[in-house]
């Protein structure tokens, strides 16, 4: 059985990627392979790898990228 996951980017996340010089493939790798955690009482997930943090939501076979952070930030 093959499961296809679609990754959809918000306009905001595309703007952040452009500003940081990050490619879509890098974001996909962070979501697939990075350290993940979920926000309490919310649908938002975070993934962190190589100093890139991705905030996203999951729904069945769709991952919706909300925003992206670069570097260290306070949680």
Q: What is the pTM of this model?
A: 0.88
Domains defined along the chain, listed by start:
6-70 (3.30.2310.20)
Q: How many beta carbons lie within 10 A of that of residue 32, not counting itself? A: 13
Helix H or strand E encompassing 31: helix 24-33
pLDDT tens digit sequence for 15-72: 999 999 999 999 999 999 999 999 888 899 999 999 999 999 999 889 999 999 997 6
26 vs 30: CA distance, rounded Å = 6
Say if CB 56 and CB 64 are below 8 A apart. yes
């Amino acid at each position: 059985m093959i499961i296809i996951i679609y990754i959809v980017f918000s306009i905001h996340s595309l703007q952040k990627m452009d500003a940081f010089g990050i490619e879509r493939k890098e974001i996909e790798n962070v979501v697939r392979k990075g350290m993940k955690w979920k926000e309490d009482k919310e649908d938002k997930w975070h993934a962190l790898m190589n100093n890139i943090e991705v905030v996203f939501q999951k729904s069945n076979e769709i991952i919706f990228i909300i925003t992206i952070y670069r570097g260290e930030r306070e949680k």
